[in-house]
Structure 1
Amino acid sequence: MFYDRLKTLVIDSQKSFNQVERELRYPRNALANYRLGKEPSAKRLTEIADYFNVTTEYLLGKDDKYSYNKAKLLFEYLTLDNKQNLLNYIQNRIDELELLEREPISLSTEQFVFCGDNTWALQESRKTIKLLTKQLPDDYDAVFELVGGPLDAEAPGNGDLLFVKFTDANFAELVHNFLLQHDHFAKLSVKDEKLTCLSRDGGSLAEVPELFGKIAKIYRFRTI
């Protein structure tokens, strides 16, 4: 991993291994010899990282933070006209994303009606809810709406929205547990591959043997 990343840095810098070795005052082939799999000493690792303006963790393959530095390096090699064209493109994309955040997104939700004793029962629903893009979590697999009681089909109420990200996509499992809040857990029971009820119980993480997913976000209509 170290040599692969070192080689990429050398190529992106448009220099040769020998030139980098000279500028670092290393013996000839000192860097090229790392292709055999040997890693440098801590001192040399730090020197190489500083030279290429990356982290030692990146060189060792422990993170991928080099991408930003690479973008800056490539930008400097552009002509003035191409730099301006790139900046114009970036600004246009920012404008498009800001416009998208102001446009509502339609969501179809599964509705659960509170039945008492910390249990919600699944209710058939064709309800669509509109939210702005900026109000959504970055990633989720399903949206559930918790409502306080039986719904009037003509005038459905608004309950808390739970955006769920599953860590196990196998819905044939009998029960899916996921983190609801800091010290509460929601349990989804699956019957015939359909969600049938949602039960919230108190407890600590250690008491739950396996988590199949987590709440990505809770959106509360009543507090907005």
Structure 2
Amino acid sequence: MFYDRLKKLVTESHKSFNRVERELGYPRNALANYRLGKEPSAKRLTEIADYFGVTSEYLLGKDDEYSYKKAQLLFDGLDEERKQKLLEYIQERIDVLKSMEETFVSLSATRFVYCGNDTWTIQSNDRTINFPVSQLPEDYDAVFELVGGALEPTSPNATGNLIFIKYDENNQVSAVHTFQLDHEHYAKLLTGDGKVFYLNRSDNTEYEDVPVTCGKIGKVYHSTSLL
């Protein structure tokens, strides 16, 4: 069992027995001779285990678990392209596991459909969305969902984006509201009789030319997979 596992580790490290022997300071064929069934001394067993980043129990066949060091050794043996692909795959699996463990809350969002010319029209019915609790802003009063278009010029499509609004204390329903976004862009909200008619964006960054804001867009959540 010892030699089988030793041979497996040598092969996976992309090294030869002779190279491993040199790096450990052992005589030539010191490791290869274990194929006859002899086990190493406790001192040498520990040295070999530390070299490959595994446990002594693993080498002796008493434990099937790889250690972190073993995983690191295998990773270091990959070229840069394969390392990147492996990291991307691991991150994808982590994201899936996190999403499975995530707690969700139901949000009622007013939906806006983009009509062109920085204008959105409101849909008559709000939509209920299952939203991850960890992504909620600390404080907000309303949630808008954009369908098509975008508030930010750098975003070609806003479908699935949620806009979290925090009203100022002086907010009035029947008024033209200007919502500050990231201190640069402004989403104008026109309301009348308690209903929102359109939402548009202004690139005006001259603050003295912008009306007094009645609220702030506390967060823009970018997603195309909201439920």
* Short-chain TM bin: 0.3 to 0.5
> How does the TM-score come out when normalised to structure 1?
0.48
